[in-house]
Amino acid sequence: MGAFRTGRSVMRLMRIVRILAKHDAGAALGQMGLAGGPLFVLRACSRRKGGGRPGQKLARALTDLGPSFIKLGQSLSTRGDLLGEEIARDLTDLQDHVAPFTFAEARATLESELEAPLEQLFETFDEKPISAASMAQVHFAVTREEDGRPGKEVAVKVLRPGIDLAFERDLELFAWLAALAERTQPRLRRLKPREIVALFAEQVHMELDLRIEAAGMSEINENFEGDETYNLPQVDWRRTGKRVLTMTRMVGTPMDDRQAMLEAGHDLEAVMLKAATIFFHQVFRDGVFHGDQHPGNMGVDREGNIFAVDFGILGRLDRRTRFFLADMMVATLRGDYYRLAEVQVEAGYLPAGRSLDTYAQALRSVCEPIVGRPLHEISFAKLLRQLFSLTESFQMQVQPQLLLLQKNMMMAEGISRILTPELNIWQMSQPLIERWIIDNRGPAARVAQTGHDLQRIMARVPQFLTDLEAIAGEIRGGGLKLHPGTLERLERRRGRGLAWLSLLLSLSALVLALIAVL
């Protein structure tokens, strides 16, 4: 079976090499620092079709290779540390240029998934899709009247037929190539190619179940309940399944169409302030954010409020990571590079044993050039990208959740510079971030967090004592055999342990009392 899989991967690889050579994608691979026989073959076979930068050639090749490679390219666009800034930027613009599948295929999928005839579910259903992407396409429709309620205008997302098998085949190839890269390219092991492929596979499997996308959309809807500035589609769960997602139709002006917004009478500065606030709330307040906020997935409605679609990718940041991000931002703004280095050590990003002084100096080299410059001239997305570029020099571990955040920051900045070049989206969100830092990382917040931690510890003490009693019972009953010397040492330490436990409980009670008073 292993030999068969290897043979199949080699055959698939030969086709990939032909397409890469056709588009002269070897130029991009060479710029990324890859060398050796495969690169020589690519360049020797190159037909040098079309011009453009190396990243643009690679993007065309990935588009030609099909849905899996388009998705892979979009994911790799976050990896400036791996590909280089220029190539990553070119891949950010990679779009799903895929021909739509037929209405008959869409109808068959929909009726099979929802177990009902199309006419029973929808009053009208547009046969021509409004958009077609690598994994799915979207049709406009109107639902049938139900229980006296009129039908609703909806958008229906239908997975591409056979997409599951296509992705499984290519994911198998990616895993094989990643393992090969780790064996033959030692310098790539730090980048953990197998883990990257595993994360990509996890993301793909989630996107192949539209119920998961629907759940993510519902979650963010709940987070912004009562906030009219951010509107998301409502899920029609009756008409939603693994391969079909039905949601309310969102209509408005694309987020990057400046002229259309001006013609519609929108205040662009007000729109960007809403966008900055929404981004802040998703990242810091909620810890869950739209993971693919390119202009095609966002728009502005008639009231000047922002809406978003396509929630196949969600980014998540736990509370601990958000705290580290806040601490890093404070240290950066203060120019305290040693503290910035310390925070990254505390977060586990910098390996133990590396010189903090040397790393702080490297951080200064990246951050110092922006100190004192007007905020609207500073690209924090670029700053974050440069900070991540230090990872190779200091053998730092890659943080996938932060790479997705970086990608979205770059997209947000791009939209900001199109709509309001004289302003900066981070300048708009700065007061919110400062307030959040005070509320969540200030002295009072730290004392409160200590109290919460102690409460959790105190809650575990009864079970801990019960477990100790159970162990003691096992020992007395002969069910657990210990060396006599071990028993003697345990007995000597028993008294000291109880004394320390008593002291801990007393101190915990004192701290909790102080917190209650404060």
* Residues taking part in catalysis: 292
297 near 238, Cβ under 8 Å? no
Structure letter (DSSP) for residue 285: I
Burial tier of 214 (Cβ tally within 10 Å: 0-12, 13-18, 19+): buried
Burial tier of 363 (Cβ tally within 10 Å: 0-12, 13-18, 19+): buried
CA separation, residue 269 to residues 35, 173, 238 (Å): 48, 47, 39
Q: Which of 482, 290, 276, 274 is nearest to 380 (CA)?
A: 276
Burial tier of 80 (Cβ tally within 10 Å: 0-12, 13-18, 19+): buried
H or E segment and range at residue 60: helix 54-65
Q: How far apart are CA 283 and CA 440, in angstroms?
A: 14
- What angle do the packed helices 85-92 and 54-65 form, to 10 degrees? 40
Residue 74, helix vs strand vs coil? helix
Q: At 72, list the tokens.
A: 């892979």
CA 42 distance to own-chain centroid:
32
Side chain identity at residue 169, one-letter code: R
Side chain identity at residue 283, one-letter code: V
Q: How far apart are CA 408 and CA 381, in angstroms?
A: 9
Q: At 306, list the tokens.
A: 């922002």
Burial tier of 21 (Cβ tally within 10 Å: 0-12, 13-18, 19+): buried
Parallel, antiparallel, or unpaired for β 306-308 and 230-231?
parallel
Q: How many residues does the chain have?
A: 518
Q: At 328, list the tokens.
A: 């890093």
Structure letter (DSSP) for residue 149: B
Q: At 192, list the tokens.
A: 């953990």
Q: Which of 11, 74, 129, 59 is nearest to 404 (CA)?
A: 74
394 near 350, Cβ under 8 Å? yes
Residue 76, helix vs strand vs coil? helix
